[in-house]
Chain A
Amino acid sequence: MAKVIVYPPTSMILSDLVERMGHKALVVSESVRKLATANDIQSPPLNVTPEEPKKGLRYAAVDVPSGVRGRMALIGPLIEEAEAAIVVEDPGWLTGCAGCNRTNELVRLLIRTKGVPLLDLAYPTDDAEARVFVQKIKTFLEGLK
């Protein structure tokens, strides 16, 4: 079982397909859960403390907006943990954790420079493309240990 990071990191389709094939999908909701359900809530309501942007400094410079560093505090450790990656071209409607384009550029760059097996795709627009989309993901995941 490999740990596969998916981009967008909030994608239902990609995380579902990865889990179906018996691998572990690394998604941002795991990181959110750790903060949101921690017993020792220090900074209600979301428990995002000044420590989070500091963790983001590992991936982005201090003059980068705190929103980017805050997001990287959640997504960065997932990239470090990843053994493979599936990246889907930005569809133009990303929101929430994945709604910051500068963070998304940085995430895609870090995934590409990490050197793990990578599958690049675009979201399908018709049935034929959907079959190719699913087939490529299946083949890629079957090739992982």
Chain B
Amino acid sequence: MRITKYVITSSESDILPSDIAMKIYGSKYDVNVKETCFGVVVDGEEEVINALIEEIRSLDPAGIFIKDRGFPPGDPRRCRGRRGGGARPGFYMIESEAKMLPMISRALAAVGEVPAVPAKKKPLMPNKLEDIIKEGLI
């Protein structure tokens, strides 16, 4: 069965989408590849794609992320070239999560004990506020 995967690079990664595309062009695998601003889209037989993405991930294990995609690359139902421009519908989710990728990459690359996160401040409860007002005014 043919499958399609996104390969997305963290903005702090030293690997560029063009590096990934060049690696795929130079590989032995028979796949379709499309370079985008955030990574590449690869399409091919399932076993081939699974082997390929492991090789791609090894370029920067903490900085390269893989996501499944339903539509093949360049599909006229999703390609903005055929839809009159604008981002395709799934891009907004990738855009939002891509902003977090540098943090996730650093967390994946980090070794040692995980630091404790200080508890977040909770909003002041109304009864506590009433007590404070009474203490101040009465």
- Which A residues contact B (CB, under 8 angstroms)? 8, 10-13, 15-16, 19, 25, 27-33, 35-37, 45-46, 91, 93-96, 98, 123-124, 126-135
Contacts and interface: CB of A to CB of B under 8 A. Distances in A.
A33 B93 contact: no
B134 interface: no
Contacts of A8: 93
A16 B66 contact: yes
B114 A132 contact: yes
Nearest to A34: B70
28 contacts: A8-B93, A11-B93, A11-B97, A12-B8, A12-B65, A12-B93, A13-B97, A15-B68, A19-B66, A27-B68, A28-B70, A33-B69, A37-B2, A37-B71, A45-B76, A93-B93, A95-B89, A123-B100, A124-B100, A124-B104, A127-B106, A128-B115, A131-B110, A131-B114, A131-B115, A132-B114, A133-B104, A134-B108
A32 B67 CA distance: 14
Nearest to A95: B92
Given A13-B65, A126-B103, A131-B110, A91 B96 contact: yes
A68 to B, nearest CB: 18
Contacts of A131: 106-107, 110, 114-115
B92 A12 contact: no
Interface string B83-110: 0000001101110111011011011101
Given A15-B67, A36-B77, A128 B93 contact: no
B69 A29 contact: yes
Most buried by B among A11, A33, A93: A33
Contacts of B8: 12
Contact of A130 (B65, B66, B98, B103): B103
Interface of chain A, main secondary structure? helix
Interface of chain B, main secondary structure? mixed
Given A12-B98, A16-B66, A124-B107, 12 more contacts: A8-B93, A12-B94, A13-B101, A25-B68, A28-B70, A29-B69, A31-B70, A32-B70, A36-B75, A127-B106, A127-B107, A132-B117
A131 B110 CA distance: 8
Nearest to B93: A10
B101 to A, nearest CB: 7
B117 A37 contact: no
A96 B90 contact: yes
Contact of A98 (B70, B93, B98, B108): B93
Nearest to B5: A29
Nearest to A135: B114
Interface in B110-133: 110, 114-115, 117
